[in-house]
Amino acid sequence: MDSSELYHIKQQFTLGAYKSLVDLTLPDPSSPDYTPTLIYQARAHIALGAPAAAEALVPSDTENVALKSVAALARFVAADAEEARDAALEELRDLSVEIEGEDAEATPWEKGTVRVLAGTAFARAGEIEEALETLGAANDTQNLEAVAYTVQVYLSINRPDLARKEFERAKRWAEDDLLLELIEASIGLVTGKDGYSDAHAFYTEQLANPSLTSPHLLTARGVARLLRGEVSAAQSDLEEAQSQLGGKPDAETLAAQTVAAGLGAAKSTDADQLFSQLSSEYPNHPLVTDYQQKADLFDELAAKFTVPALATASA
């Protein structure tokens, strides 16, 4: 079983308290917790958008597949150029093949981590099928983290039914795990109706968790509230998240704030302002890229209509 420190680290990671993970001091390298802690810390760095810091954490001469995979993911996320990305992907592919082998010297946990990280990269690269394959969708792997990632991939391709099925299967062997509740909340956010309140309840419950603070939870609850149509409550959540983030909202919060401003009573200029902030700070956020795409689409479509001359009195 996990030690209590490791349990806490896992909990923080699950609930998105990446900041506190990054600031963590690593245990003694001889401790069994050392590698997992290192990996979670590295993953937290990546989640915070600092893959370089993650790569720096991992000793370059490591033979540990999990550490190697986290480094590869960091390289993948950091890479701008196509070749570098492909190289990182290839590395992750090799690693996931390696753990399949009979003689692989890796603990089940490490294998699971490799799968999750490789799956993450594949999903980011848009290789849905490969991601699902790697994450072991529909196999009874009993790795809850892999299930969680699988579920999210399913959700991203509009298959909440499959996501729920995966979740139901996991429920049989992973009762009352925090991650399981998170999975349920995510499904709820997509399927809606009572799902919204489940998600809302989950985030509210976790916000009351005294052992950690995570602005991510506030943002998530804000999003859940937006989905429930409680715009002003959502805005206050998001503002609080912003203040917990030291006044500088992360991409997720800022994007949600933009949406909330667009829905709220505030003038549309507020939303536009937030959006321009978002697009300058996080030009790769899907809200920004999607918006750009739609704007181009609009121009293209609008051009198909012929506009007659303006009627004026002189005509």
Partner 1 sequence: MSVMLTKFESKSNRVKGLSFHPTQPLLAASLHNGSVQLWNYRMGVLVDRFEEHEGPVRAVAFHPSRALLVTGGDDYKIKVWDIRPTNRRCLFTLHGHLDYIRTVQFHHEMPWILSASDDQTIRIWNSTSRNCIAILTGHSHYVMSAQFHPKEDLIVSASQDQTVRVWDISGLRKNTPNTAPGTFDSFDNFSTVKYVLEGHDRGVNWASFHPTLPLIVSAADDRQIKIWRMSETKAWEVDSCRGHFNNVSTALFHPKHELIVSCGEDKTVRVWDLTKRSAVQTFRREHDRFWVLAAHPELNLFAAGHDSGLIVFKLERERPAFAMHADTLYYVRDKYVRAYDFNTGSDIGLLSVRKFGSPYVPPRTLSYNPAERAVVLTISSDNGLYELTTLPKDAVGEVKDSSTDGKRGSGQSAIFVARNRFAVLNKSTQLIEVRDLSNSVVKSIKPPVQTNEIFYGGTASLILSSATSVVLYDIQQQKTLAEITTPPVKYVVWSADGSLVALLSKHTITIANKNFTQHTLIHETIRIKSGAWDDSGVFIYSTLNHIKYCLAQGDHGVICTLDNPVYLTRVKGKTVYCLDRSARPRTITIDPTEYRFKLALLRNNHEEMLYIIRTSNLLGQSIIAYLQHKGFPEIALHFVQDKNTRFDLAIECGNLDVALETAQTIDRPDCWERLAQQALKQGNHKIVEKAYQRTKNFDRLSFLYLATGSTDKLTKMQKIADARGDPMSRFHNALYAGDVHGRIAVLKDVGMYSLAYLTAKTNGLDDVALDILETAGLTEADVDDVPSFGRSTLKPPTVVTPTTAHNWPTLSMGESFFDKALANGNLEGSADVPYLNGVDGGVAASAALDDWAKDEEGAEDIAAEEGAWDLDAEEAAEPEQEEEAIEEEADLGAGANPGVSETELWTRNSPFAADHVAAGSFDTAMQLLSRQFGIVNFSHLKPVFLSIYRSSHVYLSPLASLPPLQLHLRRDPEESSSGRVLPVAVRNLASIRAELSEGFRAVSGNKLPEAQVVFRATLRSLLLVSISSDSEAKEWRDLVTLAREYLLGVTIEIERRRVAHEDPDNVRRSLELAAYFTHCKLQPAHLQIALRSAIGVFAKANNHATAAKFARRLLELNPDPKIVAQARQRIAAGDRNPRNAVEIAYDEFTEFEICGASFTPIYKGSPAVRCPYTDAAYLPQFKGELDPLTELTEIGASSAGLPAPRS
Which of 155, 218, 241, 245 binds partner 1 (CB under 8 A)? It is 155
Cβ-based nearer residue to partner 1, 27 or 136: 136
Residue 28 CB, shortest distance to partner 1, in Å, is: 25
Kindly tell me which residue out of 174, 263, 270, 281 binds partner 1, with binding defined by CB under 8 A: 263
CB burial of residue 90 (10 Å; 0-12, 13-18, 19+): exposed
Binding partner 1 by CB under 8 A: which of 161, 173, 276, 283?
A: 161
Interaction with partner 1 in 29-68: which residues (CB under 8 A)?
Answer: 43-44, 46-47
Minimum separation from the CB atom of position 13 to partner 1 (A)? 7
Minimum distance from residue 105 beta carbon to partner 1 (Å) = 26
CB of 277 to partner 1, least distance (A): 13
Nearer Cβ to partner 1, position 31 or 240?
A: 240
- Which residues in the 80-119 window bind partner 1 by CB under 8 A? none
CA separation, residue 68 to residues 115, 121, 128 (Å):
12, 14, 22
Q: According to CB under 8 A, which residues from 268 to 297 bind partner 1?
A: 268, 271-272, 275, 285-287, 290-291, 294-295, 297
Pick from 7, 34, 173, 298 the residue near partner 1 by CB under 8 A. Answer: 298
Residues 179-208 that bind partner 1 (CB under 8 A): 182, 185-186, 188-198, 201, 204
Q: Characterize 24-56 residue by residue with b for buried, 16 or more Cβ atoms within 10 angstroms of its Cβ, and e for exposed.
A: beebeeeeebebbbbbbbbbbbbbeebbebbbe
- Phi/psi for 41 (5° steps) reads -65, -45
Measured from the CB of residue 182, what is the shortest distance to partner 1 in angstroms? Answer: 6
How many CA atoms does the CB half-sphere of 127 hold within 13 Å? 16
CA dihedral 59, 65, 71, 73 (to 10 degrees): -170
Cα dihedral sign for 121, 124, 129, 132?
positive
In the window 200-259, what residues touch partner 1 (CB under 8 A)? 201, 204, 219-220, 223, 226-229, 252, 255-256, 258-259
Alpha-carbon distances of 58 from 37, 72, 183, rounded to whole Å: 11, 10, 29
Which one, 105 or 161, has the nearer CB to partner 1? 161
**Alpha carbon distance 77, 179 (integer Å):** 24
Question: What is the DSSP track for 154-187?
Answer: HHHTT-HHHHHHHHHHHHHHSTT-HHHHHHHHHH
Which of 187, 277, 260, 251 minimizes the C-alpha distance to 223?
A: 260
Report the C-alpha gap between 78 and 174 in whole angstroms: 34
Query: Which residue in 32, 59, 157, 283 binds partner 1 (CB under 8 A)?
Result: 157
Q: Which of 33, 94, 98, 133 is in the footprint of partner 1 by CB under 8 A? A: 133
| Total residues in contact with partner 1, by rule CB under 8 A | 96
User: Which residue from 57, 95, 144, 153 is in contact with partner 1, where contact means CB under 8 A?
Assistant: 153
- Give the C-alpha distances (Å, rounded to integers) separating 221 from 70, 137, 228: 29, 28, 10
Kindly tell me which of 63 and 309 has the beta carbon lying closer to partner 1: 309
Q: Which is nearer to partner 1, 8 or 31 (CB)?
A: 8
